[in-house]
Amino acid sequence: MRVVNTFLMPIKPKFAYRIFTGAKKYDLRKTFEKKPVVKRGDRVILYVSGRVKAFMGEYTVGEVITGTSEYVIKVLSKNTTSGLSKEDFEYIKGSPLALAMEIVNPKLYRKPVELKCILKVLPDFKPPRGLQKLDNYEPLLVMILNKALISLNAN
């Protein structure tokens, strides 16, 4: 049985909104890895940048597509249900390698985990600048998930 990995990933508020409303079905990233570090079934926790500055939710990775940006754009531009816009494709255009992750089961945390709360406990924490893999028992992951589970289970 494969171990599920957890990643932190920064995202702009407008793209996070499209993920959590179900409009965006794939997330596109520039990458330097020929072999993707993210695999089907992995968890991606979204750090919403800009004025939000909080971990807002997560999704499970479905299909993973990698290759040149031209290849990824070609494959996904044929998919009429991808939820991707010209702006999404422009982000990866010209990148030697690109990564597309299918967004499965997006979950919006009822109570976001704000950066200022994390900094009180982990003062040296820096928000992710790209995909950042976390160890399963890393204090940051435990803190985010404990807070998220409380807010997801509180009804």
Segment 82-129, tens digit of pLDDT:
999 899 999 999 999 999 999 999 999 988 999 998 898 889 989 988
Q: Looking at the domain assignment, is residue 95 inside a domain?
A: yes
Q: Looking at the domain assignment, is residue 1 inside a domain?
A: no
Q: Looking at the domain assignment, is residue 76 inside a domain?
A: yes
Q: Give me the number of domains the chain comprises.
A: 1
Q: Looking at the domain assignment, is residue 64 inside a domain?
A: yes
How many H helices and E strands in the chain? 5, 6
Domain CATH for 70: 2.30.130.30
- Assessment of whether the complete model's pTM goes beyond 0.85: yes
Of 35-49, 59-73, 127-141, the least confident:
127-141
Q: Looking at the domain assignment, is residue 61 inside a domain?
A: yes
From the number of C-beta atoms within 10 Å of its C-beta (0-12, 13-18, 19+), residue 56 rates as buried
**What SS3 state is found at 28?**
strand
Q: Looking at the domain assignment, is residue 117 inside a domain?
A: yes
Q: Looking at the domain assignment, is residue 103 inside a domain?
A: yes
Separation of alpha carbons 83 and 44, rounded Å: 18
